[in-house]
Amino acid sequence: MDLIAGVDEAGRGPLAGPVCAAAVILDPARPIVGIGDSKKLSPARRERLEPLIREQALAWSIAWASVEEIDRLNILQATLLAMRRAVESLRLRPIKVLIDGNRYPELDIAAEAIVGGDGLVPAIGAASILAKVARDRFMVELDAKCPGYGFAKHKGYPTREHLEAIDRLGPCRWHRYSFAPLVNFDRCG
């Protein structure tokens, strides 16, 4: 069987937290109904689909790029790094990788970028769901470690509540200092 992996990320736009990427090789004999772009699915729907994807996929992997890597490399390069890590961590080797977006990481496997791929290719949609659920869970856990920022609610995105918390508390070690409005703060922690 020719194995095709779908890859997507979650967390490019937030001011805090790592970026997460997932790679998924779906089993054509076990289709999963309801997979699509994670941003268009409710959190409850993503939570219902996530264990099905993990259970029914032929292979899946989740990988991260840290806040420090984001600040050192830039968000695009850190995202590509997380994607490469996810592909390289698959327990099965695909013959091709389909990636949501207009760029893909350097791989030793054939790759293709597909704009809007998370809504077009089920394996990319599955990766989108795994990455989004994993990152959201991380940010909920981070909220307990760094109270006051509201990470569980906004997941690190630049909401009014988050910006007000940064003004009030200053940034924490999980903030991306290379992102405006954090570039003028000294790195803490």
Would the annotation count 9 as a binding residue? yes
**Mean pLDDT along residues 2-21:** 97
The pTM (predicted TM-score) of the whole model is: 0.95
Output the pLDDT for position 1: 74
**Percentage helix, strand, coil for the chain under 3-state DSSP, each rounded to 5:** 40, 15, 40
pLDDT digits (tens, 9 = 90+) for 152-189: 999 999 999 999 999 999 999 999 999 999 998 877 65
pLDDT digits (tens, 9 = 90+) for 91-144: 999 999 999 999 999 999 999 999 999 999 999 999 999 999 999 999 999 999
Output the pLDDT for position 169: 95
Helix locations, the chain, DSSP H: 43-56, 67-73, 75-88, 117-120, 122-145, 151-154, 160-169
**Mean pLDDT along residues 80-89:** 98
Residue type, 107: L
pLDDT digits (tens, 9 = 90+) for 30-84: 999 999 878 899 999 999 999 999 999 999 999 999 999 999 999 999 999 999 9
Average pLDDT, the chain: 96
Q: Given strand 110-114, what is the order of strands in its sheet?
A: 59-65, 19-25, 4-10, 96-100, 110-114
Output the pLDDT for position 187: 76
CB atoms within 10 A of CB 131: 30
> Structural domain boundaries of the chain?
4-136
Would the annotation count 2 as a binding residue? no
CATH homologous superfamily of 4-136 equals Ribonuclease H-like superfamily/Ribonuclease H (3.30.420.10)
